[in-house]
Amino acid sequence: MSYAAFEAEVARVNDLLCAVNLLTWDARTVMPPGGVEARGKQIATLVSLARDAATGEAMLKALDGAEAETASAPAGDLRRRAVGDARGAIDTLRRIPAALVAEAAELKTEGQAVWAAARAADDFAAFAPTLKRTMAMQREIAGHIGHAGHPYDALCGTYEPGMTWARLQKLFSELKAGIAPLLDKARGVPVRGDILTRRYPVDRQKAFSSRIAASMGYDFGRGRLDDTVHPFEISFTRSDVRITGRFREDWLPGGLFAVWHEAGHGIYEQGVSPAFSRSVFTTDFVNLYAVGGTSFGMHESQSRLWENRVGRSRRFWDRHFADLRETFPEQLGDVPVADFWKAVNAARPSFIRVEADELTYDLHIMLRCEIEAALIDGSLDVDDLPAVWKEKMRDHLGVEVPNDTLGVLQDVHWSSGMVGSFPTYTLGNVMSSQLFRAAGAVPEVEAGLDAGDYAPLRGWLEANVLRHGRSRTPDEILLAATGKALSTEDYVADLSRKVAELAG
């Protein structure tokens, strides 16, 4: 009965965190403007109750009991794994003082407001004092979490278990070496950008992208698509996983690829084993977040896989462009598929990360991570950030950043205390290629991709990634699914091939 008591305690935490997810979804999609203030308090209360429930006496007692009950189970036993994982995560959570968490949450609200004003005014100095407090607090949190190497390990490890600054540096240098030679070549490919900025009625964009998302495997019977300023995916158990998109009449790829990106996240959550509902394997105790994906990076691998490996491939458009042209006959009647495909793959160095193409995106990430690591280990001072940012943009992307709004002030992350999450975007890219390559070794998957039948690919992903939920680490999943540890090889190969195709 001890294990059952432990399961009940975990389910309670998970229910609370799913409710927090709903309060969040609602606030970003349908909540009337008047609701903002009260909603913030409701979320804070539920998160704090979840923390209390996760670290309280009842949970610790249940953990002890479950540990005793499963101690003699074999190493691979899922119940033993659940207990061990929960113990580790809850210990980490308990090491971060509740007062510090509350202070960080408060600073987050304040920080976002200060950042938004500073960004609008292009005034980094106005943001600097807040950013200093945030970084000091994150250093303190890193100290409580603990680390064996670099203090940044403690932070990026909460988003990507097992990730360290040393591993990242190696991975980044490989990537840099692989991407740099491709940039000039890609930049030379002529592109008809005007194709994408014609007037594309939003309802038809939605219908087309939803149709494709459904064929990829996003189940609308356990989900829905709404409009928001910033697209996102969020789940309230695998049976209710919602995505949002942002559609603009005069920018077609914005709407389409965001839907497939978020659908990729959604397919992940919907594919987690039903047995893991309300369990350790769908609960992120450290971040107090109900989620089925094993890490931020693995999650991103699924969104990038469907958005880029599938959705930006020549094969995909050879298959679906006729449908898109039928959907938009006046806009695309005169456009050959090759031109369209080139246009949605245009690679150009730019200032803004979220608008970056596939080839330059990771360079934006690298400079952010270098800065984060240096801020956390104290080797970089916040006041020097604008200059360092410009220097690094010159170095990585060869562009001259004209001001801080288009530079160091562009991202919301630091203002809300998110330090260490940026690496997961690039990790997602890398993993997406590694998994896609392994899946493609299965003839049915490859044949399906040729035929526009995505069920075999989704099935492979479900069996090898999705269904495991958080019961395996990203490293374990990669090794079992691809036969090798995390490696940049397939990603660099994919990018090289893409550039060759574009230029050829």
* Residues that bind a copy of itself in the complex, under the rule CB under 8 A: 11-12, 15-16, 18-19, 22-23, 26, 30-39, 41-42, 45-46, 49, 219-224, 236-237, 239-240, 242, 277-278
Q: Give the nearer residue to a copy of itself in terms of CB position, either 238 or 396.
A: 238
**What's the residue count for the chain?**
504
CB of 22 to a copy of itself, least distance (A): 6
CB of 20 to a copy of itself, least distance (A): 8
For the range 452-457, what are the long-range contacts, defined as Cβ-Cβ under 8 Å and sequence gap of 24 or more?
A: 452/215, 452/316, 452/319, 452/320, 453/215, 454/215, 454/216, 454/217, 454/310, 455/217, 457/310
Of the listed 262, 269, 370, 372, which one is catalytic? 262
Which pairing describes strands 225-227 and 241-245: parallel, antiparallel, or unpaired? parallel
Q: Are 300 and 424 in contact (CB under 8 A)?
A: yes
CB of 244 to a copy of itself, least distance (A): 12
Q: Give the nearer residue to a copy of itself in terms of CB position, either 165 or 236.
A: 236
- Rg of the chain over Cα atoms, rounded to whole angstroms, equals 23
Supply the DSSP string of 162-191, one letter for each residue.
T--HHHHHHHHHHHHHHHHHHHHHHHTS--
Distance between CA atoms of 27 and 50, rounded to whole angstroms?
19
What Å distances lie between residue 181 and 176, 185, 496, 500, CA to CA? Answer: 9, 7, 9, 12
Q: Where are the alpha helices (DSSP H) in 188-280?
A: 202-216, 252-270
Q: Give the nearer residue to a copy of itself in terms of CB position, either 274 or 333.
A: 274
- DSSP-derived secondary structure letter, 359: T
Whether 476 sits among the annotated catalytic residues: the reply is no
Q: Name residue 235's beta-bridge partners.
A: 241
Q: Give the nearer residue to a copy of itself in terms of CB position, either 221 or 504.
A: 221
Residues 6+ apart with CB under 8 A from 425: 300, 361, 362, 365
The closest alpha carbon to 289, from 9, 17, 15, belongs to 17
Q: Give the nearer residue to a copy of itself in terms of CB position, either 155 or 272.
A: 272
Q: Give the nearer residue to a copy of itself in terms of CB position, either 223 or 253.
A: 223
3-class SS of residue 245: strand
Both tokens assigned to 127 = 């943001």
Active site residues: 262
